[in-house]
Amino acid sequence: MDQILLEVTVVKEEILNLIKNASDEIALKNVRETHLSKKSKFASLSRYFKDLNKEERAIFGEKINQAAKEIDLAFKNKHDELFFAAYQERLAKEKIDLSLPGINYQVGRLNPLRKVEDEILNIFVSMGYEVYEGPDIESDYYNFERMNIPSDHPAREMQDSFYFNPALLLRTHTSPAQARMMDAKKGEPFKVVCPGKCYRRDDDDATHSHQFMQIEGLVVGHHISLADLKGTLETFLKAIFGEKREIRLRGSYFPFTEPSVEVDISCAHCLGKGCSLCKDSGYIEILGAGMVHPNVLRMSGYDPQEYSGFAFGVGIDRVAMLKYGISDIRDLYQNDLRLFNNFYQER
């Protein structure tokens, strides 16, 4: 009997030793599988039961149970120990160095042209204007004829453009959208702003580009006067450039408006006193405008005796350049974020 009990202790110690020496979870699992299976040495100890009497069996059973409990506890402790060690190792390996420079994801921005366009449209929409975009590819008829610029008119030369054929071109201004809108409204009064790209065969330099953007404005109704035009443009320009700025109207000429005006805004730098920025004039030219020419109204089915209207065309590029202090129009078309981030430091 003593011999049998000793054997239990020996087998137990052997297993405890293996557990103790298991280097990782896989090794520990192997110990469990080989030394506690039905065919293991430990399991085979039960073969002695049949040779023992009742008392001896109780003692032997107790001994085996005790050994099993010890082995079980050893497994559990070893498992916890290995798990914790692996965890510590992973923590050490996965340590994040917060002082390392991170990956710099570039966040895009609206092109300043689009931002200014949105701002301008919002101002006019808040005054009850509709928004309409005419086509970039325009007919000679809408771009010139309907704007009171017949084929022999010298004003055509100023706006020489890119033609697809004698009747079709890239529009030189957003003004043809005026005629398209009047056609659509069929004699009803309305207020509209028409944004879009324009194209002219022009030198590309710091202030000229073969492609630029405009917003056309047109109001047609009863008793619309130059005072309405002035009040509207003053509201618009102050909203864009700030309350401190003054506007000034100068007589000008456009074939599709009569009278025509050039609208200036007081210089941001000297507020009208005169400085190098505004070439001592105190003012900077910002847009062209005027009362819709009776010929244009008539061609569009509006009786000039009954209806009048005003129109204006503002260069989005020009507004963006003044607003953000951009001196070269070409910068607006480069899409260089480093530049755009600077442009957003408003003056």
Site residues (CB under 6 A) for ligand PHE?
173, 175, 216, 254, 257, 288-290, 311-313
Which of these, 150, 143, 178, 130, lies nearest to 297 by C-alpha position?
Answer: 178
Nearer to ligand PHE, 161 or 257 (CB): 257
Q: Find the shortest distance in angstroms from Cβ 325 to ligand PHE.
A: 24
Segments of 204-302 assigned E as strands = 211-221, 247-254, 257-266, 283-292
Neighbours of 82 (CB within 10 A): 17
Residue 18's identity, in one-letter code, is L
Nearer to ligand PHE, 22 or 287 (CB): 287
Nearer to ligand PHE, 240 or 311 (CB): 311
Nearer to ligand PHE, 134 or 313 (CB): 313
Q: Find the shortest distance in angstroms from Cβ 101 to ligand PHE.
A: 49
Q: Find the shortest distance in angstroms from Cβ 285 to ligand PHE.
A: 11
Residue 200's identity, in one-letter code, is R
DSSP letters, 308-337, are EEEEEEEEHHHHHHHHHT---GGGGGS--H
Asked if 313 contacts 175 with a C-beta cutoff of 8 angstroms, the reply is: yes
Q: Find the shortest distance in angstroms from Cβ 288 to ligand PHE.
A: 3
Q: Listing from the earlier edge strand, what are the strands of the sheet with 283-292?
A: 130-131, 190-199, 211-221, 308-315, 283-292, 257-266, 247-254
| Nearest-angstrom CA–CA distance, 250 and 245 | 16
Q: Which residues of 240-271 are buried (b: 16+ CB within 10 A; e: fewer)?
A: bbeeebebbbeeeebbbbeebbbbbbbbbebe
Q: Find the shortest distance in angstroms from Cβ 331 to ligand PHE.
A: 22
Q: Find the shortest distance in angstroms from Cβ 175 to ligand PHE.
A: 4
Q: Find the shortest distance in angstroms from Cβ 342 to ligand PHE.
A: 29
Pairing of strands 283-292, 308-315: antiparallel
Nearer to ligand PHE, 19 or 229 (CB): 229
Nearer to ligand PHE, 18 or 286 (CB): 286
Nearer to ligand PHE, 7 or 262 (CB): 262
Nearer to ligand PHE, 18 or 215 (CB): 215
Say which DSSP state 203 is in: -
What pairs with residue 335 in β-bridges? none
Q: Find the shortest distance in angstroms from Cβ 289 to ligand PHE.
A: 5
Position with the least CB separation from ligand PHE: 313
